[in-house]
Structure 1
Amino acid sequence: MTRALSTPPTIPSGAVSGSPQPVLTAAGGLVLRPWEPTDARVFLSAYQDDELRRWHTRRPRTEAEVLSWFDGYREDWDRERGAHWAVSRTDGEVLGRIATKSWNLDDGVGGVGYWVLPPARGAGVATGAVNALSAWALDRIGFHRLQLDHSTRNPASCRVAEKCGFLLEGTMRGAAVHDDGRHDMHLHARVRES
């Protein structure tokens, strides 16, 4: 049974998945591109980094599991649930990951998540990637709101969010479980300008 909406969806069904997932360019010579099977090794190695593991508790254990995640990423695009990109240099070197997920096309709301490999940290990679993804989602696709959350113990993610125009809206108490227990989470959001 199809449910009737009293208002039209912010983003009509099929508006996103009707074309291939795009490659996006970002400041600093960065490229956001869909993940490829040849990226599995570097993706898996990212989760061996202690700092990344501190903030990301869902982790792949094998390259085969990474490839399964990549299949899920393609399915997210096809079903209009989200989009996942490798953040790389123009020569293909992977520097990090960025995604928008948990899409609600009726309301035009999506989440944002990212990580950056240790050698690329502090060089504006996360900021460039978040800005490129935000421009695509808000200006080209028509999302109304993007939201980003992070542990209150992660000031680096807070700085990225603020630099990218994601205003701090509040603290969600005990909202996420990390390896060392429950963390309060900051909720940031960026809303499309009318």
Structure 2
Amino acid sequence: MPSKIPDVVAPGTLARGEQPVIPVPGDLVIRPWVLADAGAVYKAFQDPLLQRWHARVADSESEARGWIEEWRASWADEHNAYWAIAAAGSDEVVGRIALKSVVLADGQAEVAYWTMPEARRRGVASRALTALAGWAFDEVGLHRLELTHSTANEASCRVALRNGFATEGTKRSAGPHEDGWHDMHLHARIKGDGPTALV
């Protein structure tokens, strides 16, 4: 059945090109994952704070390599896209950022991120989020980006608000965590919105 509404972004827009490296202010880049990053991913998932907000645990570098293989392969299916946040000079991994639940036809996706313990409180997540949102809106043509986090995760809330992701509401008991179901804040940024401040 034909649609009366044209696709916001044409299918194949992502898959027909290579996953890009996106520059981030402050000597950072967002780049595709490589298998050599497995040690950094394993290390990140040993951090108790990161474990608090994530359901998965990496038990070995081998398991982390398997995740990276999945992340790299996901670009072609255009439903998820994962990047490492890395230092531009040393290529050291300082975090991860992703577009998840991508629906090109509707022009929408969800953003998610984490940072290594040593990279926190340095504006890494905010700067990477600003860069990825700019690319998603300006280069890909997406219309809406959503961001959700546990209402208990105040740091993630600050990152969202600082980058123009307005709070739209609370999804009750929507996020399963190790300590039970969490209410989740829903934020969103629409193409044309700007970050309220840059870090």
TMscore range, shorter length? over 0.9
Letter in 1 for 2:24: A
Q: CA RMSD in A?
A: 1.2
In the aligned structure 2, how far is the partner of 1:58 from the partner of 1:133?
Answer: 24
In the alignment, what sits opposite 1:151?
150
Asked whether the 8 Å contact 2:22–2:29 carries over to 1, the reply is yes
In the TM superposition, 1:126-141 aligns within 5 A as: 126-141=125-140
Name the SS of the counterpart of 1:106 in structure 2: helix
> In the TM superposition, what whole-angstrom CA distance separates every residue of 1:17-39 from its partner, at most 9, and x where no partner exists?
11100000111111100111110
For residue 122 of structure 2, what is the aligned residue in structure 1? Answer: 123
Q: CA deviation at 1:16?
A: 1.2
Secondary structure at the aligned position of 1:130 is classed as helix
Runs of 4+ in structure 1 off by over 6 angstroms are: none
1:43 matched to 2:49? The reply is no
In structure 2, what is the equivalent of residue 109 of structure 1?
A: 108
What residue in structure 1 maps to residue 64 of structure 2?
66
- Residue deviations 1:39-97 (CA, integer Å, cap 9, x gap): 00110110110000000112232222222212221222101112111101111111100
Give, as a single letter, the amino acid of the residue that structure 2 aligns with 1:69.
W
SS of 1:95 mapped into structure 2: strand
Task: In structure 2, list runs of 5 or more residues that go unmatched.
Answer: 194-199
Distance in 1 between the 2:141 and 2:80 partners?
A: 14
Gaps of 5+ in 1: none
Q: Which amino acid aligns with 1:71?
A: E
Separation of aligned partners in 1, 2:46 and 2:12: 37
Q: Could you state the TM-score of these two structures normalised by the residue count of structure 1?
A: 0.96
Aligned residues: 192
1:88 alignment counterpart: 86
Q: CA deviation at 1:139?
A: 1.0
**Identity in percent:** 46
Residues 122-179 of structure 1 deviation map (CA, whole Å, 9 limit, x = unaligned)? 0000001100100010111000000000000010000000011100000000001111
Aligned to 2:189: 190
